[in-house]
Chain A
Amino acid sequence: MSWITARRRHPAAGYVVVAFVLVLIGVGYAVVTSSGNASASSPAAANAAQIVRGRNLFLATCATCHGQFAQGQQNIAPSLIGVGAAAVDFQVSTGRMPPGEASAENDRKPPRFTTAETHAIAAYIQSLGGGPPIPSAAQVSSAGANLGLGQRLFVANCAACHNFVGAGGALTNGKFAPSLVESTPTQIYEAMLTGPEAMPVFNDLTVTPQEKRDIIAYVTQVRAEPNPGGFSLGRVGPVTEGLVAFLGLLLFMVLAALWITAKHRKAHE
């Protein structure tokens, strides 16, 4: 104890104690809450260096439209204050942001930023005004999910736009509900949480995190189901092949009828 007694009057002692307690609280909170709510263990609980890096990336790439302070610009780009890290991670990791050419809806494309860069930007936006954080791996895991419930929820609330296996579909004025075939579980979760573009929001109180996992499990596991036909129109079945076969057979039968009734020309005539 003499070691502490000797130094407790040191000018830096107060700072050391405060820092120690803060670290203790932070680690303790993370340990306690990591199993249930992932907001603390998510990348959003990032350090200052990550936020600085994210701010630099934001200023270099996003600020042209979203404004220097992410406040948005009228009729150009929305404010990002309060949208949360989940929205940023969804938009950037699916390649929708930064956008390509102007269109009714930004389509999925290869992401411009690495995962670390994306998380840095997300952390910066999160630091501006909070919002839903990026879900943890445990939050989007399909392990032990209730597929049946996931299907019921998906069919009742998602399938109208996204098709009953997530193949996507058309909306109005050139907008469309994208296919979910390439979506990662994290992206599906973030989309439900934040409602990107025309998509409605399904917050955690209405559709609980467990139910979101059920939906994700359904969307990801239905991909492995048998899918007969080549161009199956979103698992409608081999309808296109059937049409081609039908037309081909029709042509064959017309030709056969022509052949049967054709005048048989004799050699000597």
Chain B
Amino acid sequence: MSDINSPGLRGSGDSGDQSWPEYLTSGEAHGATPADAEPEGRRTPRRVIGTPPPAASRTLLTEEAAARQPATRELPAEPEDPARAKRAERLVAACFLLAMVAGFGFLVAYAIIGVGSIDGAWHSNLVLGTCLGLTFLLLAVGATIWVRHLMPDVEITEQRHLMRSDEKDREAFKQTFTEGADTSQFVKRPLVRRTLLAATVPLAVAPIFLLRDLGPLPGTSLDHTVWRRGLRLLVYGTGRPITAAEFNSPGSIISVGPEGYLDDDDAMAKAAVTLIKFRPGQLQFTPVNHAVPNKVVQNWTVDNIVAYSKICTHVGCPAALYEQTTHHILCPCHQSTFDATEGARVIFGPATRPLPQLPMGVDSQGYLIALGDFQEPVGPSFWERS
């Protein structure tokens, strides 16, 4: 209602403006007529008795029109129940005072509670957050009580106005703009204009150059792990090499990693391996020296010990749950289930490929070693995976 761009400035009181559509001006045209002549329409808001209809009173009248129109209040100045209002006032003031106290509490807490230790930071966060939250909450509660109990409860509707400025304003703006362009010499001095534009070109190109930081491209690094021929399998945690004779209890499982890389988390993220020991006859072998579906490559096992990648082929969680009764390897993230006796084929869950089997052998001292890298990429699928 305080919209200064309101077309009412142009004097809706006098016979209406020609540029206004009828549905917008009709109410205002009638606004000059006595209030009681206006029938209360279905959508007309409730108004306080003794005041003019809102549609008329909300128009900001010109001096002339205002002189003709008696100044009447649209909204009551005082609440209806003074005692109730007084109570509300005290309540609002109490809220605001408490908000102030909580605000000071924030300052005091900031000054007093150090954040040198974890506990200190914890307490500081707690008290600072509580104080600040209380401040805002009490301010909001106070404001709400103020609005609900002190301000009048009158619904107000506003007329819809045209967005377009009138011709005179548009002409004036156009003139100002042209004058500005002329006096700034922007048009007359192409050298300045063009060098300015040239200066902005690198700024426009710069973001494209920042895209380089998304790289470099991974190349073939996703296809390989750090496993290579001759690397011993070390027990993760103790870093001890392991022999087939030690790992001799059927149903055993142990997490291992490549020699020299146990503390390299980037390498271990792809190279982690699970060793599982089976009873003779449990594994479904293929003698062929490359992965065959649903089969364990016999040449890559040692004494019924098989080494599978620990990285799930779904999204790369450590698939490390092993049920020795069912020979199932489970991934805890999305319940992909692999049958360890059948080349870790997928028997349930969202994974689409078996866990790759690590080619494994024995060195001259009897320790388990890798015979080479995995023959297929470990872990989840990626765009260029062949």
Contacts and interface: CB of A to CB of B under 8 A. Distances in A.
Mutual binders A and B: yes
Interface of A: 149, 152-153, 156-157, 160-161, 169, 171-172, 175, 177, 195, 197-203, 205-207, 211, 256, 259-260, 263-264, 266-268
B305 to A, nearest CB: 11
Contact of A211 (B238, B247, B318): B238
Interface in B153-195: 153
A160 B336 CA distance: 13
23 contacts: A149-B238, A153-B237, A156-B236, A156-B320, A157-B255, A160-B320, A161-B332, A171-B330, A172-B328, A195-B252, A198-B323, A198-B326, A200-B252, A202-B253, A203-B247, A203-B249, A203-B252, A206-B247, A206-B249, A207-B235, A207-B254, A267-B80, A267-B81
A200 B253 contact: yes
Given A205-B247, A264-B148, A156 B237 contact: yes
Given A172-B326, A195-B324, A205 B255 contact: no
Interface in B296-334: 318, 320-326, 328, 330, 332
Contacts of B322: 161, 200
Interface of B: 80-81, 144, 147-148, 153, 235-238, 242, 245-255, 276-277, 318, 320-326, 328, 330, 332, 337, 348
| Interchain residue pairs A-B with the least CB separation, the first 10 | A160-B320, A205-B246, A198-B323, A152-B237, A200-B253, A156-B255, A153-B237, A203-B249, A201-B249, A156-B236
B251 A195 contact: yes
A interface SS class: loop
B261 to A, nearest CB: 14
Given A153-B238, A203-B248, A264-B153, A160 B324 contact: no
B320 A206 contact: no
A144 B61 CA distance: 91
A23 to B, nearest CB: 34
B54 to A, nearest CB: 17
A32 B282 CA distance: 41
Contacts of A149: 237-238
B325 A197 contact: yes
A203 B247 CA distance: 8
